[in-house]
């Protein structure tokens, strides 16, 4: 079964965190994050996924919740951050934030980007240039316009979502690919930076890319017989895992 990321911000709250593993075998961190996914279901998470960088040393955990009020979202973020802090023995928490889906496209007309374990995905991250007078909303609109124009010319992509970070002026493009070769081909032949550089009239634009493999979605049939809340799992990591720093 597949997980998904919506094209609109109407019904779901999207949360993502970026982790840099500090353990020798990254699969141990992935297994712990699977249990973290079970834990988030108690907090109302309806589906979650884990993405593992193909070339770098990064793991992204993705979760989606039924949309809630700002106050409830802040409380949820506090609970998630408290639980993620318990991963300090296995990973460094690089970043975490809620995202708003600004828009999306799918080659089959679906209203969401669907992905399953084993799929290739790609993120591109663009920060609002510090030396531009462009307003944040105009920046978001410009990035989405470029996202749409590129998607129409992309060969091998299944779907994509343009995301806006809730707390800082940053836009993220998320793409699901038919295969890794198609992803590499697009990244090598295209340069979003030059396009944005021209639109921002000389402002310095920074774009980061990374390619990931989907290593888990919550629809996978994973045994919960050995479920521990994250803090219990890590308190007993000598017993449940052979790999430590």
CA distance readout (Å), 174 to 26, 147, 244: 23, 10, 32
| Structural domains of the chain sorted by starting position, each given as residue range(s) with its CATH number in brackets | 3-239 (3.30.70.100)
- Give the per-residue pLDDT at 232: 46
- Give the per-residue pLDDT at 234: 42
Which two structure tokens, joined as six digits, stand for 9?
């911000």
- Give the per-residue pLDDT at 196: 72
- Give the per-residue pLDDT at 240: 27
Residues of the chain falling short of pLDDT 70: 191-192, 201-203, 221-245
Residues in Cβ contact with 87 at an 8 Å cutoff, skipping those fewer than 6 apart: 19, 29, 32, 33, 36, 93, 230, 234
- Give the per-residue pLDDT at 237: 35
- Give the per-residue pLDDT at 223: 53
| Gap between the Cα atoms of 36 and 229, Å rounded | 7
Q: For residue 49, give the nearest of 164, 163, 227, 219 by alpha carbon.
A: 219
| Gap between the Cα atoms of 52 and 96, Å rounded | 16
Place of tokens 């052979």: 242
Contact 77, 167 (CB under 8 A): no
Which two structure tokens, joined as six digits, stand for 85?
């802090």
């Amino acid at each position: 079964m597949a997980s998904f990321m919506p094209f609109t911000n109407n019904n779901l709250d999207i949360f993502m965190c970026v982790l840099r593993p500090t353990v020798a075998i990254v699969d141990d961190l992935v297994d712990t994050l699977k249990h973290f996914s079970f834990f988030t279901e108690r907090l109302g998470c309806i589906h979650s996924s884990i993405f593992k960088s193909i070339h770098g040393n990064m793991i992204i955990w993705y979760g989606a919740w039924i949309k809630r009020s700002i106050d409830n979202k802040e409380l949820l973020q506090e609970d998630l951050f408290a639980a993620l802090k318990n991963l300090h023995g296995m990973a460094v928490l690089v970043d975490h934030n809620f995202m708003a889906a600004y828009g999306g496209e799918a080659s089959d007309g679906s209203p969401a980007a669907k992905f399953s374990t084993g799929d290739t995905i790609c993120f591109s991250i663009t920060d609002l240039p510090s030396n531009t007078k462009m307003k944040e909303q105009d920046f978001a609109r410009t990035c989405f316009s470029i996202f749409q124009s590129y998607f129409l010319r992309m060969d091998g992509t299944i779907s994509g979502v343009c995301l806006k970070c809730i707390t800082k002026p940053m836009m993220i493009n998320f793409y699901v690919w038919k295969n890794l070769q198609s992803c590499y081909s697009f990244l090598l032949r295209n340069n979003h930076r030059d396009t944005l550089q021209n639109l921002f009239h000389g402002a310095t634009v920074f774009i980061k890319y990374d390619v990931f493999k989907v290593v888990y979605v919550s629809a996978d049939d994973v045994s919960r017989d050995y479920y521990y809340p994250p803090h219990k799992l890590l308190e007993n990591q000598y017993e449940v895992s052979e790999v430590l720093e």
